[in-house]
């Protein structure tokens, strides 16, 4: 698989990193890129699949959306 990271600020792409082969590595790089590009959100996209977002993190929460556990019902 291959992943791309989009860092966004005020809705616009402020930085991108391409050709990351490992999802966990992509997530680590995404956090670094958020600081570098002063981004509000970083999005990890699976470019080998359908180009769909597989994970995202916001500067406000600093929690990956794919790692959150659901609360009690």
Domain containing residue 18: 3-58
> Would 33 be classed as within a structural domain?
yes
Q: pLDDT by residue (tens digit) across 49-67?
A: 778 999 999 999 888 988 8
How much is the pLDDT for 47? 94
Q: How many domains does the chain have?
A: 1
Closest C-alpha to 23, from 59, 50, 47: 47
Strand partners, 56: 43
pTM for the model stands at 0.84
d(CA 70, CA 73): 8
- Is 69 among the domain residues? no
Q: Does residue 45 sit within a domain?
A: yes
Instruction: Tell me whether residue 67 is in a domain.
Output: no
Q: Residue 23: enclosing H or E segment and its boundaries?
A: helix 23-36
The answer to whether residue 43 sits within a structural domain is yes
Taking alpha carbons only, the member of 26, 27, 15 closest to residue 67 is 27
pLDDT for position 72: 55
Convert the pLDDT of each residue in 13-37 to its tens digit: 999 999 999 999 999 999 999 999 9
Q: Residue 35 is encoded by which pair of tokens?
A: 């600081």
3-class DSSP state of 34: helix
pLDDT at position 69 is 59
pLDDT at position 4: 96
């Amino acid at each position: 698989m291959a992943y791309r990271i989009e860092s966004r600020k005020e809705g616009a792409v402020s930085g991108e990193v391409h050709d990351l082969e490992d999802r966990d590595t992509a997530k680590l790089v995404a956090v670094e890129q958020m600081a570098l590009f002063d981004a509000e959100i970083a999005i990890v996209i699976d470019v080998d699949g359908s180009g769909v977002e597989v994970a995202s993190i916001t500067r406000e929460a600093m929690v990956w959306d794919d790692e959150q556990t659901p609360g009690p019902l």
